[in-house]
């Protein structure tokens, strides 16, 4: 994974973690729940990527994404964060 891809993934994870923290805060001392939330977010992003990425990108994860895929992933991540925080209805 390139450093750019890794940084982008970190942004996606952080964005959704912050959204979940806003909607349902977890004490910073609750390591088990924090770890579970992290795993859940990573799984959620995996599923999101499989919904968006064309098959040829899924089969070759080393390929760099063109701008239109990055835009679609960004919109999907922000849309999901807005749904988690209640800014958008769940069916949007």
Give the predicted TM-score (pTM) of the model: 0.88
pLDDT tens-digit series, residues 49-73 = 999 999 998 898 788 888 999 999 9
The vertex-86 CA angle with 34 and 43, nearest 5°, equals: 40
Query: Which portions of the chain are predicted below pLDDT 50?
Result: 1
Instruction: Specify the DSSP class assigned to residue 34.
Output: H
CA nearest neighbour of 20 among 84, 87, 92: 84
Residue 71 is encoded by which pair of tokens? Answer: 């835009």
Alpha carbon distance 71, 78 (integer Å): 11
């Amino acid at each position: 994974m390139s450093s750019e891809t890794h940084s982008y993934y970190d942004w996606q994870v952080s964005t959704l973690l912050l959204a979940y923290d806003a909607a349902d805060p977890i004490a910073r001392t609750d390591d088990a729940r924090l770890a579970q939330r992290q795993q859940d977010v990573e799984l959620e992003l995996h599923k999101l990527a499989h919904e968006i990425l064309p098959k040829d990108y899924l089969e070759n994860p080393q390929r760099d994404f063109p701008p239109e895929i990055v835009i679609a992933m960004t919109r999907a991540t922000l849309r999901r964060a807005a749904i988690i925080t209640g800014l958008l209805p769940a069916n949007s």
